[in-house]
Amino acid sequence: MPAGDLISFSDIGARLRAYRLGKGFTPEELAENLGISRAALYRAEKGEIRKIETLTRIAGELGVSLASLMGVGVEYVSSSIAFFERMRQLEESCEQIIGLFSPVSYLLTSDTYDEILREVLLESLPEAVMPAGEAEELVNALLEILRARKKTFHLRRPLIVSLIASADLERFLLRGLIGRHDLPAAVARRRREQARKEAMSILEMLREEPIGIQIGIVREPVPATSFQIFRQNDRSLLAISPFRLGEQPNIRVGVALITAAEEAMSLHEEIAASLWREALKGREAAEHLEAMIEKYAI
């Protein structure tokens, strides 16, 4: 948090909700563990909380630092559920999103993408990694948040700049929308067909250039982790994440971070600006993607 910023209790409440979801607590369970009423927890998640002792107890119960809960410095998030819920919260109030996504921002994916994403996420969590019941619970909770994100995006229409690595698109077209590689041939083919449809959807956006959506295809090497910059009226925040959707997703292991630190923001703004300057855009990007689809897609 930059010097001079005031602590926002509504932001603390939003983080509390995200971390609670990430831990898999229902409101009733967390309230019982804390020895408070469900109504008191509801007020806390609305930002109606003032006692540092209460915040300390909540942070301890959720297994996060008090600094993360208060949004001081760097906010570390070790759960994909909590991270994507925080993304939903930030998107509710941002005016512009700038990001490096693989293979494309979820917010720009088609409705048919959502239909197959559940299968992909579940197959990325085999029984040896996570019991089937827990995997179902995790995926269902995550999809609920993702659908809410997309709905909010279509309602609010913040400006979005989506940087896409050409190499990621190539792998996406070659392998398809898959959670692992040992799929039956018929399933693998169907997933490659789905990848082609998503690529065609991106191609249509590149050709039509809808208002508020800018897409750049980056041909140079890009960072291994995705990042997003959320520009709001009074501040900007940076999110760096190991969690990913799409081809060979990761929704289980990693630590994401969210910060408004000046140095981190400045460095990533520079990276984004540099990648955008060199990226293919508009007609050039459309021609490049069209050639890739012709070469690599089914």
Q: Please give the average pLDDT of every successive group of 10 residues along the chain, which has 298 residues.
A: 59 94 94 92 88 88 90 90 97 95 89 90 92 96 96 96 95 94 95 95 96 95 89 93 90 95 94 96 98 96
For residue 210, count other CB atoms closer than 10 A to its CB: 11
Residue 4 pLDDT: 39
Torsion of CA 100, 101, 103, 106, to 10 degrees: -150
* Alpha carbon distance 106, 83 (integer Å): 14
Of residues 120, 142, 51, 254, the one with CA closest to residue 59 = 51
**Residue 158 neighbours by CB under 8 Å, 6+ apart:** 91, 94, 95, 96, 97, 212
CB 79 within 8 A of CB 242: no
This prediction has a pTM of 0.90
* Local structure of 228: helix, strand or coil: strand
CB 67 within 8 A of CB 257: no
* Residue ranges per structural domain of the chain: 1-72, 85-296
Structural Rg of the chain based on CA atoms: 20
Residue 221 pLDDT: 87
Q: For 159, what's the count of Cα atoms within 13 Å in the CB-facing half-sphere? A: 10
Residue 7 pLDDT: 67
Task: Confirm whether 1-72 and 85-296 share one CATH topology.
Answer: no
* Alpha carbon distance 29, 191 (integer Å): 39
* Alpha carbon distance 212, 199 (integer Å): 19
Superfamily of domain 1-72: lambda repressor-like DNA-binding domains (1.10.260.40)
Domain 85-296 classified CATH 3.30.870? yes
Residue 2 pLDDT: 42
